[in-house]
Structure 1
């Protein structure tokens, strides 16, 4: 699904840095093919660190985690 946001403003440098940091956390968490409860908690904490969860953060999570789970490329062990 392609989401169009014609009125969206470009990310600030700070927002882009936060998104890049989140991507690194997610990539480290899923590198072994298993997402554990502590790793999921760390991802959630990072997503909400600034008091809000942006559409960009949700899209990144969807691409890197949810799609891999649905494709069978990533397992969840969140007990």
Structure 2
């Protein structure tokens, strides 16, 4: 399914840096194939670090965590 968001502005350099940090936190959390409650809390903290949640951040979380849980590549560890 193609989703278009024509009114979305390009991310600022600060937003890009925040997304890279979030991606790093997520990748470190899922590297072992399991995600603990603490790792999930760390991801949430990194997401809210700039006091806002963007669609791009949610898509990143969906792609790197939720989709992997759905396919069995990642499991909850609690």
TM-score normalized with structure 2 length: 0.95
Q: Unpaired segments of 5 or more residues in structure 2?
A: none
TM-score normalized with structure 1 length: 0.94
**Map of 1:55 onto structure 2:** 55
- Which 4+ runs in 1 deviate beyond 2 A? none
Aligned length: 78
Q: Distance in 1 between matches of 2:24 and 2:46?
A: 11
Q: Distance in 2 between matches of 1:19 and 1:60?
A: 8
Q: Distance in 2 between matches of 1:17 and 1:76?
A: 28
Q: Unpaired segments of 5 or more residues in structure 1?
A: none
Where 2:73 maps in the other structure, the secondary structure is coil
